[in-house]
């Protein structure tokens, strides 16, 4: 997918306005989506039959709400969402996943969130994640990241873990590494860490930014799965790249870590 580059400049003041708008929209969408959580609403499998990929009415309601707000406020901006695809714009593109972690959502688990980011075709300018059940809001720009819950706000900082042998690792589901080489690469890292926990989707990246998890390794991500999380991890002092060490903005196989030193160890171990 080709997303055009924005030719203009976004000032600090404009970025602050865009960030506040983003926070407002994920909270609004989250409240709507929460109405469908743990209600046994119907969902459908949108996969081709090879890997269960549920979508709910709540997914579509949440994305529509955010899309409409963007179209009203900034009709010149592009939009890319998981449920309704791509609408081209002027090079500033909003990228959203109304429920990142729909499998967890339909299972009644809490590890899901509303994701929204703004992409200029080169860099993710801002990212926001909201978990409405516990009222946790994460947001980041490249230089800083913050967390709030029930009007209490603090700056996020990754852990001071620098060694693979001391790290806590997470992935959403190790069974999603369907290719043998990817599964072997993940297991190579898994054998070297102190502790591993599975199941997390977007929420595990928030825990990297909070300093509780040190490594997240995932594969086959889409832009809407990862873009909002990039500024949150980076803004908290962490690193996030593809397995090859490249820009993860358009998805693929992704690694997030608490530090550059740890990141290099993980990348080298994945390649070993």
Residue 189 contacts residue 265 (beta carbons within 8 Å): no
Q: What is the pLDDT of residue 101?
A: 95
Residue 173 contacts residue 190 (beta carbons within 8 Å): no
Summarised one tens digit per residue, pLDDT across range 196-208 is 999 999 999 999 9
Summarised one tens digit per residue, pLDDT across range 226-265 is 999 999 999 999 999 999 999 999 999 999 999 999 999 9
Summarised one tens digit per residue, pLDDT across range 20-48 is 999 999 999 999 999 999 997 666 766 66
- Hey, what CATH class is 164-271 in? alpha beta
Summarised one tens digit per residue, pLDDT across range 108-151 is 999 999 999 999 999 999 999 999 999 999 999 978 999 999 88
Residue 172 contacts residue 72 (beta carbons within 8 Å): no
Both tokens of residue 231? 């500024």
Residues in Cβ contact with 209 at an 8 Å cutoff, skipping those fewer than 6 apart: 138, 140, 145, 147, 156, 157, 158, 232, 233, 235, 236, 238
Look-up of token digits 């693979």: 164
Collapsing DSSP to helix, strand or coil, 253 comes out as strand
Both tokens of residue 170? 């997470």
Residues in Cβ contact with 206 at an 8 Å cutoff, skipping those fewer than 6 apart: 113, 129, 131, 136, 138, 147, 229, 232
Summarised one tens digit per residue, pLDDT across range 166-190 is 999 999 999 999 999 999 999 999 9
Q: How many helices (H) and strands (E) does the chain have?
A: 8, 15
Answer yes or no: same fold for 12-155 and 164-271: no
What dotted CATH number matches 12-155? 3.30.540.10
Q: DSSP letter string over 260-271?
A: HHHHHHHHHHHH
Q: Quick check: 18 pLDDT over 70?
A: yes
Q: What is the side-by-side order of every strand in the sheet holding 168-171?
A: 195-198, 168-171, 215-221, 252-257, 239-242
What 68-74 contacts at long range (C-beta under 8 Å, 24+ apart), as own/partner pairs, is 69/21, 69/25, 69/28, 70/25, 70/94, 73/21
User: Would you say the C-alpha torsion 236, 242, 244, 250 has a positive or negative sign?
Assistant: negative
Q: Where are the beta strands (DSSP E) in 83-225?
A: 85-87, 93-100, 113-119, 124-131, 136-141, 144-149, 152-155, 168-171, 195-198, 215-221
Q: What is the pLDDT of residue 41?
A: 67
Q: What is the pLDDT of residue 238?
A: 98
Q: What is the pLDDT of residue 19?
A: 98
Percentage of the residues of the chain whose pLDDT score is greater than 70: 95
Both tokens of residue 204? 């595990």
**Quick one: DSSP state of residue 187?**
H
**So where are the chain's domains?**
12-155, 164-271
């Amino acid at each position: 997918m080709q997303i055009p580059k924005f030719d203009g400049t976004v000032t600090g003041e404009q970025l602050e306005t865009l960030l506040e708008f983003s926070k407002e929209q994920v909270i609004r969408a989250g409240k709507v989506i929460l109405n469908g959580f743990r209600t046994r609403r119907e969902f459908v499998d949108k996969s081709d039959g090879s890997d269960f990929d549920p979508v709910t009415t709540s997914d579509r309601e949440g994305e529509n709400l955010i899309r409409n707000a963007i179209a009203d406020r900034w009709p010149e901006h592009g939009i890319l969402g998981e449920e309704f695809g791509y609408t081209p714009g002027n090079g500033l593109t909003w990228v959203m996943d109304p429920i990142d972690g729909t499998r967890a959502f339909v299972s009644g688990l809490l590890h899901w969130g509303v994701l929204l980011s703004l992409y200029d075709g080169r860099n993710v300018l801002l990212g926001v994640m909201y978990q409405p059940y516990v009222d946790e809001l994460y947001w980041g720009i490249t230089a800083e990241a913050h967390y709030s819950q029930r009007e209490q706000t603090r700056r996020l900082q990754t852990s001071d873990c620098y060694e693979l042998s001391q790290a806590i690792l997470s992935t959403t589901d190790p069974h999603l590494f369907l290719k043998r080489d990817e599964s072997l690469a993940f297991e190579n890292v898994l054998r070297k860490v102190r502790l591993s926990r599975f199941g997390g989707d977007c929420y595990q990246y928030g825990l990297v930014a909070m300093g509780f998890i040190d490594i997240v390794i995932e594969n086959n991500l889409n832009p809407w799965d990862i873009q909002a999380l990039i500024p949150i991890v980076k803004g908290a002092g962490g690193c996030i790249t593809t397995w090859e060490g490249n820009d993860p903005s358009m998805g693929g196989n992704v690694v997030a870590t608490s530090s550059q030193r740890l990141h290099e160890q993980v990348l080298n171990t994945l390649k070993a």
